[in-house]
Homo-oligomer: A and B are copies of this chain.
Amino acid sequence: MVHASRQITKLLGGLVTSTILAVVPATAQQQSPVQPKPSDTQQHRTTPGGQYQPSLDVLGGKPLEQPGAKPGEPVLSKAEFDQASQIYFERCAGCHGVLRKGATGKPLTPDLTKKLGFDYLRDFITYGSPGGMPNWGSSGELKPADIELMARYLLNEPAQPPEFGLKEMKETWKVVVPVAQRPTKKMNTLDIDNLFSVTLRDSGEIALIDGKTKKIELVLKTGYAVHISRMSASGRYLYAIGRDAKINLVDLWMDPPQTVAELKTGTEARSIETSKFKGYEDKFAIAGAYWPPQYVMMDGATLEPLKVVSTRGMTQDTQEYHPEPRVAAIVASHFKPEFVVNVKETGEILLVNYTDMKNLNVTSIAAERFLHDGGFDKTGRYFLVAANARHRIAIVDTKESKLVGVIDSGGQTPHPGRGANFIHPKYGPVWATSHLGNEAVSFIGTDPVKNKQHAWKVVQTVDGQGGGSLFIKTHPKSGYLYVDTPLNPDAEISSSVAVFKISDLAKEKPEFKVLPIGQWSGISEGARRVVQGEFNMDGTEIWFSVWNNKAQESAIVVVDDKTLTLKAVIKDKRLVTPTGKFNVYNTRKDVY
């Protein structure tokens, strides 16, 4: 079942991040709360200080010249500018940056866009590119009028959304159920450790599904385009963060579980984590933001924002100032009372000690630019993270607070999720990543003591089904390694999963088995992208999302890990665009 499209899928090479997860199935009709507002209606220009300022109103159908516009520059009315800003923050900012300075996508500042010109921009947005730009027009995601608007918008100076400091956060902070009014023991009959928190991206909700009965126990409203869930060390608290930087804190002890606190930490975000070091269980949470570029540490039980820290600063290599270094993945160290904060554009990995926020100790590790997502090795001591646009993996020793090294990932645009740890039959303990940009699945030795000769090297690269992989998964009790390919342009590949038998990996060219998950779901409409395998608590079954557009049917398919056969299909009208699934036990214990 290995076929031709195993070759590099250039469509995805180097330009796609997991934000694709967020943008691909979105529809133009969505209402976004990420609509920047001018802080002062008397201001009408983009200023060096950087406040977002719309252009003047339309008078008699003819747009006023935007103040600051030069002759010959396309002019937008206020309504157009606001609409374009909304589309930009929803569809474009994830890759091109809020300030249009470029990141995974190319820079789009007017000095560059003006050289390209209106026609080029319009066509590029319409048809996309083999470099990874989605075909917004020909896919029907954006209408021709929207695309024309966006091309004009890009010829103007970028709007800068407002800052979001402690005051703004506190204005959004709600303690729905104070700690004193919460239960002191679990009040429900849920098997919390085997619950799955499932991201329902386009409905802005999470579904809590029982790992055994597969029953949807609860659907909870969250922020816009909810991104991930994380669990407190004890498993009692669940934190979900939306792309709009809204956090919901859910108390899983209540009957039924409910949101007990809310906080918005910016206007765009991806990451949240909780303190896990001994003595600090359930005590603190941290959220990273894309905009403003910052992270905030919070009280774990109330989300009270305690310490806001900007990530604006110098790139790790050229040491030049970057105005928008976004916070990507965050994990909690098991070896120190520290959060491991990955800053994308500067390439710095921050070890943020949370024991004393008034005397805040941070170690900034100069790693590699474009840090994205990653996970710990089997021992929990080493953290491996993809620098995706650099095709590299950076490795940090969280015990010694030092960079171990930065190595080539063995493929194009690594996207490990948290990666997968297993004992390789030939090389000992390894951590694995798949790639967005090609079919490579790479194994990196992680044991510098008993397998020193293999440590921190790509010891083997095997071919998966093709590029477009987002997540790779195994479990300490599993004998298999699962590789998804939801962003592969071939529908057969994007709706199926490759499975390697770990004991076969000593072979010269290990074969994989293809599980036709999309087909197993029984859904016939839509792209049926199969994404993000997640094990249940005891490692006997793995769940995959079959992810369709909002208007179409989606499902979760449960596979028996021993037999690699279909075990169950979870379908429900409430299962709207399911993407990430987070088993409580595996998430809180970093089992992957």
Contact = CB atoms under 8 A, between A and B. Distances in A.
A360 B70 CA distance: 45
A520 to B, nearest CB: 47
B320 A309 contact: no
A389 interface: no
Interface stretch (A156-164, A235-243, A329-337): A156-164
B163 A321 contact: yes
B165 A314 contact: yes
B362 A358 contact: no
Contacts of A364: 309, 359-362
Contacts of A294: 314, 321
Nearest to A365: B359
Q: How many copies does the complex hold?
A: 2
Contacts of A72: none
A47 B360 contact: no
A359 B165 contact: no
A40 B110 CA distance: 13
A325 to B, nearest CB: 10
Chain A interface bracket (under 10, 10 to 19, 20 to 34, 35 or more): 35 or more
A60 interface: no
A111 B167 CA distance: 22
A363 interface: yes
B314 A313 contact: no
Interface string A352-389: 00001011111111100000000000000000000000
A45 interface: yes
Interface in A10-52: 40, 42-50
B310 A361 contact: no
A167 B111 CA distance: 22
A157 B47 contact: yes
Contacts of A174: none
Nearest to A306: B319
Interface of A: 40, 42-50, 67-68, 70, 99, 101, 109, 111, 157-160, 163, 165-167, 292, 294, 305, 307-310, 312-314, 318-321, 323, 356, 358-366, 401-403
A365 B167 CA distance: 20
A401 B365 contact: no
A48 B318 contact: no
Contact of A160 (B48, B68, B70, B358): B48
Contacts of A157: 45, 47-48
Contact of A360 (B42, B111, B308, B363): B363
Given A166-B319, A359-B365, A359-B401, A68 B45 contact: yes
Given A48-B46, A403-B359, A321 B307 contact: no
A318 B358 contact: no
Given A70-B67, A358-B365, A363-B359, A165 B318 contact: yes
Contacts of A403: 358-359
Interface centre among A47, A356, A402 (most CB of B within 10 A): A47
B307 A319 contact: yes
Contact of A165 (B67, B321, B366): B321
Nearest to A308: B319
A167 B48 contact: no
26 contacts: A45-B70, A45-B157, A48-B50, A48-B99, A48-B158, A48-B159, A49-B101, A49-B158, A49-B323, A50-B50, A67-B68, A67-B70, A163-B320, A165-B314, A166-B320, A167-B319, A294-B314, A310-B314, A359-B363, A359-B364, A359-B365, A359-B401, A360-B365, A361-B361, A361-B363, A362-B362
A454 B320 CA distance: 47
A72 to B, nearest CB: 12
Contact of A313 (B305, B312, B363): B312
A186 B261 CA distance: 68
Nearest to A68: B68
Contacts of A99: 48-49
Contacts of A402: 356, 359
Given A309-B364, A312-B312, A358-B366, 7 more contacts: A48-B157, A49-B101, A49-B323, A50-B50, A167-B318, A310-B314, A361-B401
The 9 closest A-B pairs by CB, nearest first: A166-B319, A165-B320, A310-B313, A68-B68, A308-B319, A46-B48, A48-B160, A163-B321, A361-B363
Contacts of A67: 68, 70
Nearest to A361: B363
A44 B160 CA distance: 19
A155 to B, nearest CB: 14
A401 B359 CA distance: 7
A307 B365 CA distance: 12
Nearest to A159: B48
A67 B44 CA distance: 13
A40 B45 CA distance: 21
Contact of A292 (B42, B308, B321): B321
Contacts of A319: 165-167, 305, 307-308
A366 B313 CA distance: 19
